[in-house]
Structure 1
Amino acid sequence: MDKYGELQSRVNLLEYHQRLLLKMISDPNLELFRLVIENGISEQEVQTFQKLCEDMNKKMEEQKAEGFINFHPLFNEFLYSLPAKFDAKDVIEACLHQRLYEPLFKEFHKCL
């Protein structure tokens, strides 16, 4: 990537983090946003994470409907798919605090 492309990428990241900070002003309990900013996570990485959560949530609902009560294999799949910049424990706690995908992260919290 050339210098201009690198600078543009950094500006985009700063603009994204600024939008998150503005949301946090009205709701300081947005823990996931805090993690995103602290770890320099991009908007694209967050979108990938949200897609992962949606997929995992669907899988868990399907597994519950089939009578599953142990979600360790799903948790392991989540860990394997989680973007490298995310710490699983911090993400799970932040999502629970922010009430994102609550049933999923309640189960994952038991696996920690």
Structure 2
Amino acid sequence: MDLDTLLEKINRLEYHQSILLMMISKSDDQFYKLIVEKSLSRKDVERFLAMCEELTIALEEQQAEGFVYFESLYRNLKDSLHPNLDAKEVIEACLRQKLYLPLMLELKKFVK
């Protein structure tokens, strides 16, 4: 495949991506939209999901111990996010898409 053909395919993919973003902007799949908007890789997303699993377990453990204040979990999320992501937009997107609801509902309390 020559360079011109490759560039044409990349341009077409970018155009199709912009159309897909417009299509999903009307849906509740806001986290998926964020992935595309911020150009995250599969590895970035897998890392984020694994982190959410760990934070969910930590939340459940802390709740079982009687904790009611979870700012440390929020800081952990915020500090571990991909540089292209903002904690507030991630939490809001996850809430709209109903991902990790108990965790995100608690973390939302610390969004400024």
Specify the code of the residue in structure 2 equivalent to 1:58: I
Q: Distance in 2 between the 1:65 and 1:83 partners?
A: 30
Paired residues, number? 94
Unaligned runs of 5+ in 2: 1-5
Unaligned runs of 5+ in 1: 1-6
Q: Distance in 2 between the 1:82 and 1:63 partners?
A: 22
TM-score after normalising by structure 2:
0.75
- Corresponding residue SS for 2:109: helix
Instruction: Tell me, yes or no, if structure 1 residue 57 matches structure 2 residue 56.
Output: yes
Q: Percent identity?
A: 43
1:38-76 deviations in whole A, cap 9, x for unaligned? 111111100000000000000000000000000011111
Instruction: Tell me, yes or no, if structure 1 residue 77 matches structure 2 residue 65.
Output: no
CA RMSD of aligned residues (A): 2.2
Q: Distance in 2 between the 1:56 and 1:83 partners?
A: 16
Structure 2 counterpart of 1:47: 46
TM-score after normalising by structure 1:
0.75
Q: Distance in 2 between the 1:102 and 1:67 partners?
A: 19
Specify the code of the residue in structure 2 equivalent to 1:96: L
Q: Which has the larger radius of gyration?
A: 2
Structure 1 residue 77 displacement after superposition: 1.2
